[in-house]
Chain A
Amino acid sequence: MNKEVLFKDIFKANTKKIFHLCYGYTGDEDIANDLMQETFLKVWQNLEKFRNQALISTWIYRIAVNTCLSYLRVEKRQAKDELTDNIIETQAEEVSEKNEQVAALYKCIAKLEENERIIITMVLDEVPYPEIAEISGISEGNLRVKIHRIKHKLTELYNQHERF
């Protein structure tokens, strides 16, 4: 298969989940788009290596996780704080109730530890546990315990957020 066609197919099949992972990790839509772009650039460069692999998505996730981990948020965090009240108000008006719930969920995910954010976005996207274990380099047994704990933590955070 032609490399460009293969790449487009891979992009179409994985873009949504990879974006969720990047957004869940950074909590910022723009940075998530940048990280997703960086991830797929690297996927293109590595395409030959996993051309015949059965589970391409595992490798794409691995690249995305490592790309997110190498993004150190020290420099970019200030930029977010510079948003004026005006911009925040305008954005708030545009957000529907449904989107508000999604935004709240992302806000709660942002409060988790980095590896928890990565794992829970994959759980929410229904990635099978053995694949999550393979991607994160954690044994399946430990992963199950960890997922149970993160689910509980996230649900509590969300309910707390709703109460206030």
Chain B
Amino acid sequence: MKDFDALKDIWSNQVELARINADDILKLVRQSKRRLSAKLLFEVIAMAVAVLLLVYTWFTIDFRMWTSHAALIIFIVCCVYVVFAQLRDYRRLMDNSLLLDKPNEYIDYLKSYKKHRYVLNTKKYRSYTLFFIAGFAFFFIEIFFVASLWVTILGISFTVAWFLFCYFILMKSYIRKEEQRLNEMIENLERLQKQFSEDESR
């Protein structure tokens, strides 16, 4: 039979297993700073290229109908929105001041952040898809007038099939998985929060 003091002795005699030293951390600070900004820069550049291509198309091709202009505006707004949303979330994630909050408040923040990401990855993604469908629908109006009927039908069929595949197969399973993951995370966070708030009520 051992008492708590005996456990304390065992604890104080433990061999150190920490393998990291201060220089490793400083090296990592420099690396991760570069990696994160490179990743962010890549995302922003990729979207900027997409927007530039759309703008280039807009100015070089002589669209005759307003619907095509509307389609391009929708595409550009969607791309800009994605960059904006990513940047905003990145900044929120990088806000380290929250780490100094009391654990209970920090758990609250984690819950709200995870819910926010879920909304962005599911509901907002759905609206984003609907906007793209509207953009393509507008775009095909002009195609219908300038191209042959078969080209139009082929283009519409391919686009509709692609969107149906994305919406009913890819997105459904993605949303289901996200939902499961989020529920599990929220359950865990709520259990943690309960542990910390119970202390105050006792």
Q: Which residues of A contact B (CB under 8 A)?
A: 4, 7-8, 11-12, 15-16, 19-20, 23, 29, 32-33, 36-37, 40-42, 44-46, 49, 59, 62-63, 65-67, 69-70, 72, 74, 98-99, 101-102, 105, 113-116, 124-125, 136-139, 142-143, 145-146, 151, 154-155, 158-159, 162
Contact = CB atoms under 8 A, between A and B. Distances in A.
Given A16-B18, A102-B10, A67 B99 contact: yes
Interface of chain B, main secondary structure: helix
A49 B97 contact: yes
A41 to B, nearest CB: 6
B96 A102 contact: no
B62 interface: no
B100 interface: yes
B28 A41 contact: yes
Contacts of B96: 42, 45-46
Contact of A159 (B1, B11, B200): B1
A72 B188 contact: yes
Shortest 9 CB-CB contacts between residues of A and residues of B: A137-B102, A19-B18, A11-B22, A115-B195, A102-B14, A124-B11, A138-B199, A66-B106, A8-B22
Contacts of B106: 66, 69-70
A15 to B, nearest CB: 6
Interface of chain A, main secondary structure: helix
Nearest to B110: A70
Contact of A98 (B13, B22, B25): B13
A68 to B, nearest CB: 9
Given A40-B25, A45-B96, A66-B103, A74 B188 contact: yes
A146 B11 CA distance: 20
Nearest to A72: B188
Interface size class of B (residues with CB under 8 A): 35 or more
7 contacts: A7-B25, A37-B25, A66-B98, A69-B107, A72-B188, A114-B192, A124-B11
A70 B107 CA distance: 8
Contact of B22 (A7, A20, A42, A45): A7
Interface in B21-35: 21-22, 24-26, 28-29, 32
A104 to B, nearest CB: 8
Contacts of B169: none
Interface of B: 1-4, 7-8, 10-22, 24-26, 28-29, 32, 96-107, 110, 184-185, 188-189, 191-192, 195-196, 199-200, 202
Residue among A23, A32, A137 having the largest count of chain B Cβ atoms under 10 Å: A137
Contacts of B16: 16, 19
B27 to A, nearest CB: 11
B99 A66 contact: yes
B195 A37 contact: no
B147 to A, nearest CB: 49
A7 B10 contact: no
A74 B104 CA distance: 21
Residue among A8, A69, A154 having the largest count of chain B Cβ atoms under 10 Å: A69
A138 B195 CA distance: 11
Contacts of B200: 138-139, 142
Nearest to A44: B29
Nearest to B15: A99
A137 B7 contact: no
A138 B200 CA distance: 6
A143 B18 CA distance: 28
